[in-house]
């Protein structure tokens, strides 16, 4: 059952401004000040949305600020067009400078191979795969988001795209030579089911290349120290304390909000350690051929030196290459 619950500005500010630890640009901070001012003038417009007593989003009434939208987790359809445009324009540095270079180093010649794009989104992966020899008639993309698949079909009309669940693939056994997945499997609460499905639809000696979020980045604990925000993985040094920052070894759900006014994308995914996924792959029948932790490429320096320094030293993502034996 869905409930709309009025909350105070302090609660709203904690959930959006503090809990998600977002440091807004000055223009957005000025808007936030206007919202606080309107509240102080007696306009109560802040609500949280609950589904079965669990908070799934937050909302402000539009007469407080224009273009606001309910902050829903994993709203793939709503953000499909925005994500599609940003990827094509190279405006997502984590893909352009980190994840794609990692995958490029691990992929092989795909000539004459039947290839599945698992969690294909709006289909941009097809451009990447074609550069390695894949033919349009040999590519199939599958994704849970209907809007993403609609955009993929319009953008790449000669490629087959279908709406479907990666945990229940609509293909016969031993169908594909190669399966490629970019930052999609971590949305599954049970990756073992996905790995077993991938194993089933791969041909003998077929290969599986996929990337995931890395716990160093996505399972870290965000803490403000002297006015600056830090991501921490570690523990207290004092033997008398047991404070732990982050959750490297525990497979669990993490939620991150990319917050800006009018585009409040909240993504929730499941983060596990490299060894967690390695063991699941082996349990599912795969032999693991390669493993890589991401590192920002040198080209990043020209675009954002701070981003390069952080992401060339600490991994955002990881990738596995496995084979069906």
Q: CA 208, 209, 215, 219: dihedral to nearest 10 degrees?
A: -80
Exposed/middle/buried for 245, CB within 10 Å: 0-12, 13-18, 19+?
middle
As a whole number, mean pLDDT of residues 168-197 equals 98
pLDDT digits (tens, 9 = 90+) for 154-173: 999 999 999 999 999 999 99
Secondary structure element (H or E) that encloses residue 216, with its range? helix 215-218
pLDDT surpassing 60 at residue 14: no
Whether 208 and 104 map to the same domain: the answer is: yes
* Structural domains counted in the chain: 2
Whether 66 and 82 map to the same domain: the answer is: no
Whether 201 and 296 map to the same domain: the answer is: yes
pLDDT digits (tens, 9 = 90+) for 91-117: 889 999 999 999 999 999 999 999 999
Q: Is residue 223 part of a domain?
A: no
The 3-class secondary structure across 150-180, one letter per residue, is HHHHHHCCCCEEEECCCCCCCCCCCCEEEEE
Share of the chain above pLDDT 90, in %: 62
Question: What is the predicted pLDDT for the residue at 21?
Answer: 41
Secondary structure element (H or E) that encloses residue 193, with its range? helix 191-201
pLDDT surpassing 60 at residue 56: no
Whether 167 and 55 map to the same domain: the answer is: no
Whether 117 and 264 map to the same domain: the answer is: yes
pLDDT digits (tens, 9 = 90+) for 286-299: 999 999 999 999 99
As a whole number, mean pLDDT of residues 306-313 equals 95
For 241, residues 6+ apart whose C-beta sits below 8 A from its C-beta are none
Question: What is the predicted pLDDT for the residue at 228?
Answer: 83
Whether 259 and 290 map to the same domain: the answer is: yes
Q: Is residue 235 part of a domain?
A: no
For 40, residues 6+ apart whose C-beta sits below 8 A from its C-beta are none
pLDDT surpassing 70 at residue 310: yes
CATH number (domain holding residue 93): 3.40.50.150
Q: Is residue 14 part of a domain?
A: yes
Structural domain boundaries, residue 53: 2-71
DSSP letter for each residue of 26-82: HHHHHHHHHHHHHHHTT---EEEEEETTEEEEEEE-TTTSTT-----BT-HHHHHHH
Whether 314 and 270 map to the same domain: the answer is: yes
Whether 85 and 41 map to the same domain: the answer is: no
Whether 198 and 139 map to the same domain: the answer is: yes
Higher pLDDT, 21 or 6: 6
Higher pLDDT, 226 or 213: 213
Question: What is the predicted pLDDT for the residue at 314?
Answer: 97
- Give the least confident one: 55-59, 75-79, 201-205, 303-307: 55-59
Reduced to 3 states (helix: H, G, I; strand: E, B; else coil), residue 100 is helix
Reduced to 3 states (helix: H, G, I; strand: E, B; else coil), residue 141 is strand
**Cα separation, 90 vs 87, whole angstroms:** 5
As a whole number, mean pLDDT of residues 273-285 equals 98
The residue among 49, 51, 91 whose CA lies nearest residue 70 is: 49
The residue among 317, 321, 319 whose CA lies nearest residue 97 is: 317
Question: What is the predicted pLDDT for the residue at 48?
Answer: 60
Final residue in a domain of this structure, among 43, 71, 99: 71
Q: How far is CA 72 from CA 222, 255, 298, in A?
A: 21, 11, 36
Question: What is the predicted pLDDT for the residue at 47?
Answer: 58
Q: Is residue 193 part of a domain?
A: yes
Question: What is the predicted pLDDT for the residue at 42?
Answer: 43
Reduced to 3 states (helix: H, G, I; strand: E, B; else coil), residue 248 is coil
As a whole number, mean pLDDT of residues 138-154 equals 97
Whether 265 and 281 map to the same domain: the answer is: yes
As a whole number, mean pLDDT of residues 206-212 equals 98
As a whole number, mean pLDDT of residues 106-134 equals 97
Q: Residues 11, 58: contact at Cβ < 8 Å?
A: no
Question: What is the predicted pLDDT for the residue at 257?
Answer: 64
Q: Is residue 17 part of a domain?
A: yes
pLDDT surpassing 80 at residue 3: no
Q: What is the DSSP letter of 136?
A: G
Final residue in a domain of this structure, among 21, 51, 71: 71
Burial code of 40-66, b = ≥16 C-beta within 10 A, e = fewer?
Answer: eeeeebbbbbeeeeeebbbbbeeebbe
pLDDT surpassing 80 at residue 193: yes
Q: Is residue 221 part of a domain?
A: no
Final residue in a domain of this structure, among 42, 71, 100: 71
Average pLDDT, the chain: 83
């Amino acid at each position: 059952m869905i409930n709309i619950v009025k909350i105070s500005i302090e609660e709203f500010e904690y959930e959006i401004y503090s809990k998600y630890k977002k440091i807004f640009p000055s223009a957005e901070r000025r808007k936030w000040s206007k919202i606080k001012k309107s509240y102080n003038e007696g306009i109560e417009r802040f609500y949280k949305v609950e589904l079965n007593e669990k908070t799934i989003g937050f909302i402000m009434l539009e007469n407080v600020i224009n273009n606001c939208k309910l902050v829903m987790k994993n709203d793939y359809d709503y953000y499909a067009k925005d994500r599609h445009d940003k990827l094509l324009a190279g405006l997502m540095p984590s893909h352009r400078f980190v994840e794609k270079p990692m995958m490029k180093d691990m992929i092989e010649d795909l000539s004459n191979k039947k290839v599945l794009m698992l969690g294909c989104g709006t289909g941009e992966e097809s451009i990447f795969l074609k550069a390695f020899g894949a033919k349009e008639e040999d590519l199939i993309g599958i994704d849970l988001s209907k809007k993403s698949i609609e955009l993929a079909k319009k953008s790449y009309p000669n490629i087959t795209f279908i709406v479907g669940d990666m945990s229940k693939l609509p293909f016969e056994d031993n169908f594909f030579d190669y399966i490629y997945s970019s930052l999609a499997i971590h949305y599954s609460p049970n990756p073992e089911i996905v790995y077993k499905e991938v194993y089933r639809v791969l041909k003998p000696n077929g290969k599986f290349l996929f990337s995931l979020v890395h716990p160093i980045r996505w399972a870290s604990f965000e803490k403000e120290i002297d006015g600056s925000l830090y991501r921490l993985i570690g523990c207290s040094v004092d033997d008398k304390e047991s404070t732990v920052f982050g959750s490297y070894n525990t497979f669990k759900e993490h939620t991150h909000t990319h917050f800006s006014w009018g585009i409040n994308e909240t993504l929730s995914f499941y983060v596990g350690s490299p060894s967690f996924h390695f063991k699941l792959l082996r349990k599912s029948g795969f032999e693991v051929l390669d493993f890589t932790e991401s590192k920002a490429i040198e080209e990043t320096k020209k675009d954002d030196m701070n981003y390069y320094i952080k992401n060339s030293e600490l991994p955002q993502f990881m990738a596995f290459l496995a084979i069906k034996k």
